[in-house]
């Protein structure tokens, strides 16, 4: 006896089950997409596109507090397979009491690694000591326009500068949440010497150069002793001394932020596990709704039994209907969560370290959501009270 076309489930209980699944799926999807979006956005905030490796101070506890020597750039550029290199100083700061990230860069070198399209104004030059350019997302968040004056405050050193907005750019990357100033301006805001930078980003040909080859090239060039073997004296009590590069502290990574995350045990897998735990804590609602759907249809089930339907036939039909309803509900919950996150992102509410989250559809999250919901609904239906009926 075939029951797929026979409608015996009451709308009220179907809506209750569907609504519960939509709610739980939305909660799970919001949690998953938020955590992975923060992770991806933070990971991409340093290096950006593929094919870029970073030379950094691997002894530093964060990617923003270490120092490497600026003259490493000349050595890096001589390594085969290196297309371009950009020494940069990362400066956490505030404008209009809003937290931002500023990069001190050499404009012509930075442009070789990142393509910027200016929607207003022009690119920096090294002579623009009193200028700043802003990413479109940052400019919109701060409400700033071309040629406006801003007061940039460096939070690590309590230094400030009055700058005027020379340009507003679009990069279609996390750089849209940042601001750029000439390299020496960033060095002053961080109170480091002119011979030091936070990191050096390097664009490479993947089939020629690798992070290992770059580190080997740096090691060979810097292992030779200096002419006098002495380190210059520190000229300021709060400024690290300039010295020949310390090979032991230099690291070269593709995916630098992943290295720091791994150091503290944060991976995509652990974030997905955390999302699953959120789902499990709220899964009782789906179990109750599924069980209620079956229990509230005992009379209809008995009628079907009296008409010749076997327990197996009824259970299979219930399972097919419940799983079909679950599939549609999960899709609705996922769509709703993405819409909510998109609206929140446009409003500037989803940021980590002043960078917007990387919000993109992830089929793994959808499949995991479907798998968890299907498992709960199938188990609840299998435990139906009519299972042992004659």
Report helix, strand and coil shares of the chain as percent, to nearest 5. 45, 20, 35
Please choose, from the candidates 84, 81, 121, the residue with its C-alpha nearest in 3D space to the C-alpha of residue 106.
84
Query: Would 321 be classed as within a structural domain?
Result: yes
Average pLDDT over residues 344-352: 68
Residue 102 phi, psi dihedral angles, 5° rounding? -115, 140
For 12, 302, 314, the CA distances from 306, given in Å and listed in that order, are 25, 6, 12
| Owning domain of residue 26 | 11-44+267-382
SS3 state of residue 390? coil
Structure confidence at residue 158 (pLDDT): 83
Distance between CA atoms of 78 and 82, rounded to whole angstroms?
7
Q: For the packed helices 11-44 and 311-346, what is the interaxial angle rounded to 10 degrees?
A: 40
* Residue 15 contacts residue 23 (beta carbons within 8 Å): no
**DSSP category for residue 242:** P
Whether residue 274 sits in one domain with residue 161:
no
Residue 175 shares a structural domain with residue 244: yes
* Same-domain pairing of 117 and 244: yes
Q: In this predicted model, which residue has the larger pLDDT, 345 or 228?
A: 345
Co-location of 191 and 80 in the same domain? yes
User: What's the pLDDT tens digit per position in 10-42?
Assistant: 788 888 889 999 999 999 988 888 888 777 777
Verify that 37 and 126 share a domain, yes or no: no
Domain contains 388: no
Same domain, 174 and 78: yes
The residue among 351, 257, 275 whose CA lies nearest residue 64 is 257
Give the whole-number percent of the chain exceeding pLDDT 90.
32
Q: Where are the alpha helices (DSSP H) in the chain?
A: 11-44, 72-77, 107-113, 136-142, 183-190, 211-222, 256-263, 268-281, 284-295, 298-306, 311-346, 363-382
For residue 117, pLDDT over 70 is answered with yes
Over the range 330-363, which residues count as b (16 or more CB within 10 Å of their CB) and which as e? bebbbebbbeebeeebeeeebbebbbbbbbeebe
Q: Residue 138 and residue 160: Cα distance in Å, rounded?
A: 19
Residue 352's pLDDT is 62
- Cβ contact 339:345 at 8 Å: no
Q: Are residues 187 and 144 in the same domain?
A: yes
Domain membership flag for residue 230: no
pLDDT tens string 248-257? 788 888 777 7
Q: What is the DSSP letter of 173?
A: S
- Say if residue 142 is in the same domain as residue 249: yes
Length of the chain: 390
Answer with the one of 254, 280, 299 that is the final residue of a domain: 254
The span from the CA of 373 to the CA of 376, in Å, is 5
What's the average model confidence in pLDDT over 368-390?
75
Q: Which helix (H) or strand (E) holds 199?
A: strand 199-204
Residue 322 belongs to some domain of the structure: yes
Q: Is 319 among the domain residues?
A: yes
In the numeric block, the tokens 């036939």 are attached to 313
State the Cα–Cα distance between residues 104 and 116, nearest whole angstrom.
16
- State in Å, rounded, how far the first CA of the chain is from the last one: 16
Q: Clarify whether residues 245 and 293 are in a common domain.
A: no
Is residue 6 in some structural domain?
A: no
94 in a domain, yes or no?
yes
Q: Is residue 284 part of a domain?
A: yes
pLDDT of residue 224: 52
Q: What average pLDDT does the chain have?
A: 81
* Surface-to-core class of residue 19, CB atoms within 10 Å of its CB (0-12 exposed, 13-18 middle, 19+ buried): middle
In a shared domain, residues 58 and 189: yes
pLDDT of residue 296: 72
Based on the domain organization, do 139 and 39 belong to the same domain?
A: no
Pairwise pLDDT comparison (240 vs 101), residue with the higher score: 101
The predicted pLDDT at position 286 comes to 84
Q: What's the domain count of the chain? A: 2
- What's the whole-model pTM score? 0.70
Q: Are residues 40 and 102 in the same domain?
A: no
């Amino acid at each position: 006896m075939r029951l797929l076309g026979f409608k015996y489930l009451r709308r009220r209980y179907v809506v209750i089950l569907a609504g519960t699944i939509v709610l739980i799926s939305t909660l799970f999807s919001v949690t998953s997409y938020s955590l992975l979006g923060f992770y991806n956005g933070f990971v991409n905030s340093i290096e950006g596109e593929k094919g870029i490796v970073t030379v950094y101070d691997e002894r530093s506890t964060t990617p923003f507090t270490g120092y490497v020597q600026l003259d490493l750039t000349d050595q890096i550029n001589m390594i085969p397979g290196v297309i371009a290199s950009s020494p940069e100083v990362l400066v956490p700061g505030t404008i209009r009491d809003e937290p931002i990230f500023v990069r001190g860069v050499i404009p012509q070198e930075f442009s070789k690694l990142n393509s910027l399209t200016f929607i207003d104004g022009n690119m920096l030059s090294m002579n623009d000591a009193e200028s700043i350019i802003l990413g479109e997302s940052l400019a919109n968040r701060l409400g700033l326009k071309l040629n406006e004056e801003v007061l940039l405050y460096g939070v690590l050193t309590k230094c400030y500068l009055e700058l005027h907005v020379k340009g507003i750019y679009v990069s279609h990357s996390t750089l849209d949440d940042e601001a750029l100033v000439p390299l020496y301006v960033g060095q002053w805001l961080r109170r480091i010497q002119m011979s030091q930078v936070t990191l050096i980003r390097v664009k490479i040909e993947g089939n020629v150069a690798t992070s290992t080859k770059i580190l080997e090239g740096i090691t060979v060039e810097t292992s030779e002793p200096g002419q006098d073997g002495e380190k210059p004296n520190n000229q300021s009590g709060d400024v690290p001394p300039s010295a020949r590069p310390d090979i032991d502290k230099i690291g070269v990574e593709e995916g630098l932020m992943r290295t720091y995350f791994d150091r503290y045990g944060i991976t995509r897998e652990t974030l997905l596990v955390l999302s699953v735990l959120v789902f499990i804590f709220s899964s009782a609602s789906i179990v109750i709704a599924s069980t209620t759907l079956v229990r509230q249809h005992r009379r209809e089930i008995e009628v079907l039994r009296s008409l010749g339907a076997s327990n197996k036939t009824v259970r299979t039909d219930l399972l097919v209907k419940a799983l079909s309803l679950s599939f549609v509900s999960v899709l609705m919950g996922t769509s709703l969560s993405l819409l909510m996150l998109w609206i929140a992102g446009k409003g500037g509410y989803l940021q980590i370290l002043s960078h917007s989250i990387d919000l993109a559809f992830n089929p793994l999250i959808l499949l995991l959501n479907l798998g968890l919901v299907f498992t709960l609904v199938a188990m609840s239906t299998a435990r139906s009270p009519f299972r042992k009926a004659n």
